[in-house]
Amino acid sequence: MKLKLRLNGTPHEMDIAALKPDLELRIDGRGHALRETGGTGALRHARIDGEDITYHQARSGNRAFLHLGGRTWIVEFVDPRDAAREKVQGSGDIRAPMPGVVVSVEKQPGDPVTAGDTILTIESMKLQTNLTAERDGVLAEILKSEGDVFEKGAIVARLQEEEDGDA
Amino acid sequence: MRRITSAINPASAEFKTRAARNRARVAEFREMQRAARDDRPERDIRRLEKHGKMRPRERLELLLDPGTPFLELSSLAANTEYDGESPGASIITGLGIVSGREVIIHADDSSVKGGAWYPLSVKKIVRCLDIALENHLPVIHLCDSAGGFLPMQNQVFADRYMAGRIFRNQCLLSKAGIKQLALVFGQCTAGGAYVPGLSDYNVIVRGTGAVFLGGPPLVKAATGEEVTAEELGGAEMHTSVSGTCDYPAETEEEAIAIGREIVQQWEKPKKWECQRDDPVPPHYDPQDLYGILPDDIKKGFDMREVIARIVDGSRFHEYQPDYGTTLVCGFANIWGWKVGVLGNNGVLFNDSALKGAHFIELCNQNNTPLVFLQNITGYMIGREYEREGITKDGAKMIMAMTCSHVPKFTVMCNGSFGAGNYGMCGRAFDGRFMFAWPNSQIGVMGGEQAANTLADVKAAQMKRNGEEVDDTVLEALRETTGKAYMEQLSAYYATSHLWDDGIIDPVDTRNALGMAITSALNAPLGTPGYGVLRL
């Protein structure tokens, strides 16, 4: 399995060629032998291609922060599922997922919104549901007000068209 | 598996309001539980002391392995019944560890009305033995009951699930090789005599323990014979003459010590091999649950936030994340055990019901236990949905869930209304264990809807009788029936009637499920297969 990672923002590909006796990594096609030789807490010692090095390390989520030779290196492991998610483009139409009634309107036309912001709260089947923006944008219009009933699939609010090019 | 990314902001006003409300709810629950466990009339305590008897929870402390968890079940049984005179339905049940073996305990609570069995006491003992049968858990009975509560004998004695069921279950347990030990601390009279009588092993305390079909007063009335309890069915007689009891003990402490040694002889069961990884605690703090659960039953919340605070490492492999989104399905681990989780994120539509049925099939194919997290107002209703076959799609989910051969567990997280209760493994569907949160509500419909429906029926009736429809009458009806209905929706009413295995603090859910799953693996899987799925 090839792993994708970013070193200070630059993408690299890495795979593991061997685990024993030393860890052998192939990074962008070049092989490296690596062995951890000790350390406590954030302080680590390792031997890479025969050379002994000492560094500090901290981790947060899928990122590792290394301090080595007076510089900080940020290693980020790229999860292919994240990349796929980023590509999904939300629609500007906010549609009712089921018939119901509007309980409250949270935004006004002209308001800037970010994906996930609640535009309206509806009630159906004894349950309140928040209708949220699928993408960032500016609210163009709200077609229903408090107390209005609507059918499934009705457009209840709309974001302004996204501007192309220079935006 | 990927860690769930929480969108909760503990600094928000909403979080704080909800947390305050839910912490108050849990404090109220804890106080009710404490009172049910500890508050007893002075008279009853003195009577126990006079007879040299321990209180039932003191006995439990000596019996259970030190430092091991005890998961008490249905601690608030009968809390709405009998004018509160039968706390915990006068019975203590729970999962615990004795001499290194997982067991289930049934202890009579003689610190209230001599441990007399009320109708719900019987229901609680029967449930305890059903759990033993379903999960192959050995039983330890701590006997100290005056017998059936005579003024209510019509509700404890004769029917299929009344007292006879206790003894029927005892026989089936023994037949299945699931061991039972009875420790006789008080008088076991009439039917109660069969608890030690049908146990594989029993111990009786000299002086206070006795076993007989009819006690001294009944014998005198029936035949004129005068005899003391000790002569009639005491430790000396039963352990040396009749052979009804196995081991005499001088004190309660000794009886418990002998009991622990007996359990030590029992073979340890082989667990069914469920897939297991190393357990790790959730990444997100379970205390956050207080700020996630809404202060109004109508308000929604993302069940993934709850899952993230129950499962190992908050890691969740979500199945069909973009389809049937009102039912969240996916694989996770609890205490290391692989489980399939189904949680409600809104009304069940056709697609969510189909997704649920398919995911249940996947879990059965993969021998993965199922965990249902209920917050459901029902399956969607209306013309369009009926035309799309919402009824038959719901039927598929119910069929797949009911016929599952893997063990099922249910947590009542918030609402449980209408057929949604069924599809999400409600009480009737033989889940191995079911726990409820103090905020949860259960009913055939919501409180407002029920009050309005009843008022509509009344108005129609008035019209039929040629009366004028009086709005003040309707409003009064709405209020009174609404209030009564709301009381019955409460988690306390449900647990009072043994519709679950007990209310728990939401923070304890992971451990309760962990113990429940571990216990359930003592029994082999059921028979695979489903009925006819209406396609």
The structural domains of chain B, with segments of one domain joined by +, span: 1-39+273-438+503-535, 40-265, 445-489
| Alpha helix segments (H runs only) across B176-248 | 194-197, 216-223, 229-233, 235-237
B384 contacts in chain A (CB < 8 Å): 152
Asked whether the domain spanning B40-265 has the same topology as the one spanning B1-39+273-438+503-535, the reply is yes
| Alpha helix segments (H runs only) across chain A | 80-87
Cα A60 from Cα B55, distance rounded (Å):
52
How would you class B285 by CB atoms within 10 Å of its CB: exposed for 0-12, middle for 13-18, buried for 19 or more?
A: middle
Q: What does the angle CA A75 – CA A81 – CA A85 come to, to the nearest 5 degrees?
A: 110
Both tokens of B53, joined, read 């008897």
CB contact under 8 A, B382 and A123: no
> Does residue A98 sit at the B interface (CB-CB below 8 Å)?
yes
ipTM attached to this prediction: 0.75
Q: What does the angle CA B90 – CA B92 – CA B95 come to, to the nearest 5 degrees?
A: 165
Whose tokens are 């009975």? That residue is: B141
Q: Which candidate from A98, A126, A152 shows the least CB-CB separation from B446?
A: A126
DSSP string, B21-76: HHHHHHHHHHHHHHHHHH---HHHHHHHHHTTPPPHHHHHHHHSPTT---EEE-TT
Among B4, B8, B299, the strongest candidate for a mutation testing the A interface, having the largest count of A CBs within 10 A, is B299
CB contact under 8 A, A79 and B2: yes
A90-159, CATH topology level:
OB fold (Dihydrolipoamide Acetyltransferase, E2P) (2.40.50)
Closest CA to B108 of B38, B166, B55, B171: B55
pLDDT along chain B (535 residues), means of 10: 93 96 98 97 92 96 97 98 96 98 97 93 98 98 91 91 96 98 94 95 97 93 94 97 98 98 96 94 98 92 97 98 96 98 96 98 98 95 94 97 98 95 97 98 86 86 87 86 88 98 98 98 94 94
- Pairs of CB atoms within 8 A across A/B: 36
Whether residue B289 contacts residue B310, with contact meaning beta carbons closer than 8 Å, is answered with no
CB contact under 8 A, A125 and B7: no
A129 contacts in chain B (CB < 8 Å): 300, 346
Cα B293 from Cα A123, distance rounded (Å):
18
The structural domains of chain A, with segments of one domain joined by +, span: 3-83, 90-159
Tell me which chain A residue has its CA closest to the CA of residue B375.
A127
Whether residue A18 contacts residue A24, with contact meaning beta carbons closer than 8 Å, is answered with yes
CB contact under 8 A, A152 and B346: no
How would you class B64 by CB atoms within 10 Å of its CB: exposed for 0-12, middle for 13-18, buried for 19 or more?
A: buried
Cα B273 from Cα B368, distance rounded (Å):
10
Report the pLDDT value the prediction gives residue A167, as an integer from 0 to 100: 40
Buried/exposed B156-183: b ≥16 CB within 10 Å, e otherwise: bbeeeebbbbbbebbeebeeeebbbbbb
Cα B295 from Cα B417, distance rounded (Å):
18
Return the half-sphere exposure (C-beta side, CA atoms, 13 A cut-off) of residue B120: 27
B448 contacts in chain A (CB < 8 Å): 126
Both tokens of B175, joined, read 């037949």
B414 contacts in chain A (CB < 8 Å): none
> Does residue A104 sit at the B interface (CB-CB below 8 Å)?
no
Report the pLDDT value the prediction gives residue B458, as an integer from 0 to 100: 85
Report the pLDDT value the prediction gives residue B281, as an integer from 0 to 100: 98
pLDDT in tens, A60-106: 878 899 999 889 999 998 887 776 665 556 788 999 988 999 999 99
Q: Maximum distance among all alpha carbons in chain A?
A: 74
Both tokens of B319, joined, read 């199945």
Report the pLDDT value the prediction gives residue A16, as an integer from 0 to 100: 87
Radius of gyration of chain A (CA): 25
Cis peptide before A21 (omega within 30 of 0): yes
In the three-class reduction of DSSP (H, G, I as helix; E, B as strand; rest coil), residue B222 is classed as helix
CB contact under 8 A, A152 and B384: yes
> Does residue A152 sit at the B interface (CB-CB below 8 Å)?
yes
Report the pLDDT value the prediction gives residue B447, as an integer from 0 to 100: 80
Closest CA to B132 of B175, B89, B192: B175
Whether residue B48 contacts residue B110, with contact meaning beta carbons closer than 8 Å, is answered with yes
pLDDT in tens, A32-68: 999 888 888 889 999 999 899 999 999 887 889 999 9
| Alpha helix segments (H runs only) across B137-276 | 163-175, 194-197, 216-223, 229-233, 235-237, 252-265
A77 contacts in chain B (CB < 8 Å): none
CATH no., domain B1-39+273-438+503-535 = 3.90.226.10
Q: Distance (Å) from the C-alpha of residue A130 to the closest C-alpha of chain B?
A: 8
Q: Which candidate from A79, A116, A123 shows the least CB-CB separation from B298?
A: A123
Task: Report the first-to-last Cα separation within chain A, whole angstroms.
Answer: 38
B382 contacts in chain A (CB < 8 Å): 99
The full 3-state SS of B368-416, as one line of letters, equals CCEEEEEEECCECCCHHHHHCCHHHHHHHHHHHHHCCCCCEEEEEEEEE
Report the pLDDT value the prediction gives residue A165, as an integer from 0 to 100: 43
Report the pLDDT value the prediction gives residue A86, as an integer from 0 to 100: 58
Cα A160 from Cα B484, distance rounded (Å):
50
CATH no., domain A3-83 = 3.30.700.30
Q: What DSSP designation does B465 have?
A: T
Closest CA to B295 of B25, B7, B33: B25
In the three-class reduction of DSSP (H, G, I as helix; E, B as strand; rest coil), residue A150 is classed as strand
In the three-class reduction of DSSP (H, G, I as helix; E, B as strand; rest coil), residue B311 is classed as coil
CB contact under 8 A, B347 and A124: yes
A98 contacts in chain B (CB < 8 Å): 347, 349, 380
CATH no., domain B40-265 = 3.90.226.10
CB contact under 8 A, B377 and A152: no
In the three-class reduction of DSSP (H, G, I as helix; E, B as strand; rest coil), residue A48 is classed as strand
CB contact under 8 A, B347 and A98: yes
Cα B103 from Cα B68, distance rounded (Å):
12
Cα B19 from Cα B422, distance rounded (Å):
30
> Does residue A128 sit at the B interface (CB-CB below 8 Å)?
yes
Sequence-distant (≥ 6) Cβ neighbours of residue B326 within 8 angstroms: B344, B345, B346, B347, B348, B349, B352
Closest CA to B147 of B106, B193, B199: B193
**pTM here?**
0.91
Report the pLDDT value the prediction gives residue B475, as an integer from 0 to 100: 87
Among A89, A104, A127, the strongest candidate for a mutation testing the B interface, having the largest count of B CBs within 10 A, is A127
Q: Which candidate from A123, A126, A130 shows the least CB-CB separation from B417?
A: A126
Among B384, B442, B444, the strongest candidate for a mutation testing the A interface, having the largest count of A CBs within 10 A, is B384
